[in-house]
Structure 1
């Protein structure tokens, strides 16, 4: 009986691990621009956005540089100076990058929306798995904002 219970527990743990690995490797299906907005954050405390209603998850949008091209260049330079990321999608209005932790391989999706009408750069960063991110996404935003501000 004890061996059977251990086997069942082992199977459950393996299945849960498989789901976590799958979620970590699969981009969420709500990414991108939807009617001029980035996706809402999950209810878990592992993300930040300049479009968040919740003050705990809200970060400030960043002002445009001289024009759209200068803003895009400054944002891409900021990413280039930040470790462990890859740009997945990029167009005139939007950038999607994936940041990953080198040790555990956890992935976070970072999105930028170049809002030309309001002359601001919106930012969203959300962990794919887990409940809390221990403040990693907010720290990433702060570093991004610093590097963006330093760019000409």
Structure 2
């Protein structure tokens, strides 16, 4: 009986981690913390840094959203004028990473960070690289 109760609590705890966050501040312009589970165009440290994303004249938040939603496990969480937060959920463990995208002039600020855990094993950098390719293919970045 105790084992079943503990198992139920553990399962509920794990599924709670995969739920969307309703309120989260815009962190797109913030550098990453000290854990290796984040990458950003706004961080100047080599292991966290992403090369700039230079937008073309055709880019807008709607077309960027369309490209971002082709990434694995992606769904729109917040969409505002010039800002987009996409939640990317892993298939097996249902971990959620936040991909934040913000248009500033002719640049796209990109920040991808895991919500839980110390290391992401390179998942966020891979996602940012995939996004860059999708945006290039769509003619949205140079």
- If the TM-score is normalised by the length of the shorter chain, which range does it land in? 0.7 to 0.9
Residue of 26, 32, 41 corresponding to 1:32: 26
Question: What 5-or-longer segments of structure 2 have no aligned partner?
Answer: 1-7
The offset of 1:149, in angstroms, is 0.6
CA 1:73–1:29 in 2, change beyond 3 Å: closer, same or farther?
Answer: closer
2:68 maps to 1:79: yes
Match of 1:104?
A: 93
CA 1:136–1:109 in 2, change beyond 3 Å: closer, same or farther?
Answer: same
Superposition TM-score, scaled by structure 1 size: 0.74
Superposition TM-score, scaled by structure 2 size: 0.79
**Higher gyration radius (CA):** 1
CA distance in 2, matches of 1:41, 1:20: 25
Task: Count matched residues.
Answer: 135
CA distance in 2, matches of 1:112, 1:140: 13
Structure 1 stretches of at least 4 aligned residues deviating more than 2 Å after TM superposition: 14-31, 37-40, 70-74
2:53 maps to 1:62: yes
Aligned-CA RMSD value: 2.8
The offset of 1:64, in angstroms, is 1.2
